[in-house]
Structure 1
Amino acid sequence: MNTLRLDLPMAGLPSPAELTDGFADEARFLLALKLFEQGRISSGKAAVLCGIGRVAFLLAASRAGVPVVDLSSDDLDDEFA
C-alpha cells in the first residue's frame, strides 16, 4: 500500500496535552472531508482515506454540514416531480 507522510510542525497543532489518541483519525477525516467537499475526490475515495465505509463517511460528512448530494435546481425539480 502506498502512503503519503505529512510532516507538520508541532507549533501549528494543539498542545500535546490537547492531542487525543484519535487525533490522527480526526485529521484524516477532516482532510478527506475537505477534499470531498471541494469535489477533488469521490465519497468512496474519501471513505478509504478515513478507513471507514462509504455510507459511514457520507453520514459523517452530512453531520459535519457538508452536502453529500450536488443536484442542480432542475435536477431537484425532476426528483420531486
Structure 2
Amino acid sequence: MTMIAFDLPDGAFAALRKDPREMESELRMAAAAKWYELGLVSQERGAEIAGLSRLEFMHGLSRLGVSPFQEDLDEDETGNA
C-alpha cells in the first residue's frame, strides 16, 4: 500500500470538529465518493479507498448526498446510446 501525506492547517480540524484520525477517514470517504460520482471508480474500489465495506460505503454515499447508482445519461430506457 502506498502512503500519501500532506499538511493541513490546524484550523481545518477545529472548523470540522475532527481529530486527525477522523479527518483521515472523512478525506478518504470524500475522495472515494467524488470519484465514484464521476464514474472513475466502482463501488467496490470506492469502498476499498474509503477503508469500508461495500455496505458501509453505500451508507456513506447516502450521507454525502451521492446516489449509490451510477447512471449513463446518454442511454435511453432500453440501454441504447
Both proteins in one fold, TM over 0.5 = yes
Residue 23 of structure 2 aligns with which residue? 23
Distance (whole Å) between structure 2 residues aligned to residue 37 and residue 6 of structure 1: 24
Structure with the higher helix share, 1 or 2? 1
Q: Work out whether residues 29 and 60 of structure 2, in 8 Å CA contact, stay in contact via their aligned partners in 1.
A: no
Aligned equivalents of 1:12, 1:37: Cα separation in 2:
28
* One-letter amino acid of the structure 2 residue matched with residue 30 of structure 1: A
Higher mean C-alpha deviation, range 35-44 or range 61-70 = 61-70
Separation (CA, whole Å) in 1 of partners of 2:35 and 2:68? 12
Does the CA-based 8 Å contact 2:13-2:23 persist in structure 1? Answer: no
Aligned to 1:54: 54
TM-score, normalised by the number of residues in structure 1: 0.68
SS in 2 for 1:25: helix
* RMSD between aligned residues: 2.5
Q: What is the match of residue 36 of structure 1?
A: 36
Q: Following the alignment from structure 2 to structure 1, what is the Cα–Cα distance between the partners of residues 4 and 38?
A: 22
Q: Which runs of 5+ in 1 are unaligned?
A: none
* 2:48 counterpart letter in structure 1: V
Separation (CA, whole Å) in 2 of partners of 1:39 and 1:6 = 25
> Is the alpha carbon distance of 1:62 and 1:71 closer, same or farther for their aligned partners in structure 2, counting shifts above 3 Å?
farther
Aligned counterparts, 1:5-20, within 5 A = 5-10=4-9, 13-15=12-14, 18-20=17-19
Query: C-alpha distance in 1, partners of 2:11/2:37?
Result: 23
Structure 1 counterpart of 2:2: 3
Give the letter for the 2:32 counterpart. Answer: A
